[in-house]
Structure 1
């Protein structure tokens, strides 16, 4: 065995065509903070956070204009369905998007999520009835599952001593999005009534009074889609065969003085070192998830009760 006790996987060679290997090499050669990448992470997270709360200032009036509520007291009842449909879709698909990010990479999930904001947030602003509004919000939440992969991405681009900073960038951008989002919705909704000297009632924004704030956020998300192409992939994409070969080479180099039989045994163990323990039995992980769920329940309940 290696005398220094270091993991054998640390000795694998970097592949020139793998962006994740380039990131690992950059982290090994530099002790600095990847400010450029963290800035892009901040922008992408902001684009995902803006649509969440931007509808709350005008949701009451939107439901009223749909005419689905027979009494004024019923408007908040239908508004609750539209507001919660986004998080319902996200809750149903977040684990799936995490699995997709682990299989095919973080970057595709990030791009799909931002494109989803562009499409379905725009369609929400063009909603003409209650069912169109609730379906577009549900699809927006279901297909925009990049918050989890973004946290993994922020951790993977930073050295171990800077990973807390990467997580803070995600949380800061998320919080700013929850502040700016309602401001955009409040200032830009019903522009024909608030700014009649700029927008006429016969214009597009007069016929769709809640389209302007959604359009502004969608334009920002479109710019984010373009910027996302400069994000390097952090998931190693050179296949299990190459990774297994690297493990075998590292094992053989560190065990030259041991018998051949023990080398083969250790290589076989390293090659099958996938954790078999169920995540549900990992109490430190599950306790962190439960605490985070309670926090998010309080956070979203505070936002939802406003409308």
Structure 2
């Protein structure tokens, strides 16, 4: 015997709806969609690589443009280049999210990958500051796929595997933010580092082209994988939203319909993924959803911190020790970030899903933010170390910091998806990407300016040199901790929702003999 909930949708089967097919594949008890998640990981990695691949060489790139009057001013201009991508994404993310809800996730993903191929390559050919600035801005403006990708990760996984789906996005995104700088560190200025291979080539004229071409080449691979991802957007001509008693089918007719649906491969109990006619009203309610904006607030504040840290770490590591830096080369930075990326990948894939299921995304996000504070406080003292002790301290701190950071970001992805229904996720994630992009645009600019200012006060009595930089980073981390508490973040976002749309449904309990 079994109780089966049957939606009364005028007997329609929606066998041609891609969303219904996707709903069946991620019904309760369905296996993990490993292949789709692997394809999605490639797509996310192609999206994140160009965002951060410039940071190890950005200092040298701006120096080569000869736009800064002194070395202390390089940080200001580097911050503007780092921010231009996020400012472009801030202007267009809502539009891309709306398009994803109207026309599907895949077209937006496709357009995003094309933008990486074109504009990231143009950035590698930049011969002056303004060309670099504009190409990064255009890359951010036309690459709006991250919001739809985060929605998509929840839509191809059953409820019990949603933490894994979001973890894959967070992991590969964070991995791209680590591998990207590693590529930039190893491959920038190849004619200087590897003269036998690259001297008297185009890479001698454009010393920062090689890492850009490598990330664009990977984007071509990602472009192919988009054809292997099924669409998850529901496409129905009309769904009836109210019923009278005469609309209730007989027990026999329902049994026949259930058998037909199961034979054709569609789940009859996965009604939460069907859209409704009231979706436009629901879209408007996003602006009145405090759970959504509370989740976005956590995401925005930590993203501001994370982007500022990413900018500052590379600038700090390559700056001279007399200014409080580590005197690393771009290759040294690449080595540190590569080790951090591998450790983060292991943590996210093996430990993040069980930790999230055990602690919940709110508590895990809060705990990670708290642990980041004493860790960051130790950074400014590392310049006093030498040789093995220096490398041990930097590697350990970088590994732990990146693990904590990607945990917070992935947790915020899950909180945002938990706060809305399935037919709102594209717009909700697009809205979150637009707002967070403004914060991420501020992050590198503020970080670069703060770093440049700190370089001028190395002999200050209070928080001299880089100590002031990490102090401000800790203030933002503390603010992240505070907004994980109520009333800023409602507890309703802590657990996955059933994501039921506004379709008026009735259920009939049937005694079935198996």
The TM-score range, normalised by the shorter chain, is 0.7 to 0.9
Cα distance 1:198–1:271, how it changes in 2: closer, same or farther (>3 A)?
A: closer
> In structure 2, which of residues 235, 238, 244 is the aligned counterpart of residue 237 of structure 1?
235
Distance, in Å, in 2 between the alignment partners of 1:62 and 1:15 is 55
Alignment of 1:24-63 (within 5 A): 24-28=23-27, 31-63=30-62
What is the DSSP-based 3-state SS (H/G/I as helix, E as strand, rest coil) of the residue aligned with 1:235? coil
Deviation track 1:154-212 (CA, whole Å, cap 9, x = no partner) reads 11111122111111110011111111010000000000000011111x21111110000
| Partner residue in 1 for 2:295 | 288
Whether the 8 Å contact between 2:58 and 2:78 is mirrored in structure 1 is yes
Cα distance 1:72–1:36, how it changes in 2: closer, same or farther (>3 A)?
A: same
State the 1:252 CA deviation. Answer: 5.8
Cα distance 1:118–1:252, how it changes in 2: closer, same or farther (>3 A)?
A: farther
> In structure 1, which of residues 188, 210, 215 is the aligned counterpart of residue 213 of structure 2?
215
Alignment of 1:149-228 (within 5 A): 149-200=148-199, 202-228=200-226
Cα distance 1:231–1:249, how it changes in 2: closer, same or farther (>3 A)?
A: farther
Whether the 8 Å contact between 1:84 and 1:304 is mirrored in structure 2 is no
Q: TM-score, normalization: structure 2?
A: 0.52
Q: How many residues align?
A: 287
**RMSD value, Cα:** 2.6
Cα distance 1:162–1:109, how it changes in 2: closer, same or farther (>3 A)?
A: same
Cα distance 1:69–1:10, how it changes in 2: closer, same or farther (>3 A)?
A: farther
Deviation track 1:47-75 (CA, whole Å, cap 9, x = no partner) reads 11111110011111111111222222222
Distance, in Å, in 1 between the alignment partners of 2:108 and 2:93 is 11
| Partner residue in 2 for 1:128 | 127
Whether the 8 Å contact between 1:11 and 1:250 is mirrored in structure 2 is no
Distance, in Å, in 2 between the alignment partners of 1:191 and 1:140 is 24
What is the DSSP-based 3-state SS (H/G/I as helix, E as strand, rest coil) of the residue aligned with 1:244? coil
| Partner residue in 2 for 1:99 | 98
Cα distance 1:255–1:19, how it changes in 2: closer, same or farther (>3 A)?
A: closer
Whether the 8 Å contact between 2:119 and 2:139 is mirrored in structure 1 is yes
Cα distance 1:17–1:7, how it changes in 2: closer, same or farther (>3 A)?
A: closer
Deviation track 1:238-291 (CA, whole Å, cap 9, x = no partner) reads 4xxx2325x5689864378xxxxxxxxxxxxx7547437632322111111111
What is the DSSP-based 3-state SS (H/G/I as helix, E as strand, rest coil) of the residue aligned with 2:168? helix
Deviates more, 1:51-60 or 1:28-37: 28-37
Distance, in Å, in 2 between the alignment partners of 1:180 and 1:12 is 51
Cα distance 1:27–1:252, how it changes in 2: closer, same or farther (>3 A)?
A: farther
Cα distance 1:62–1:10, how it changes in 2: closer, same or farther (>3 A)?
A: farther
| Partner residue in 2 for 1:90 | 89
Cα distance 1:82–1:286, how it changes in 2: closer, same or farther (>3 A)?
A: same
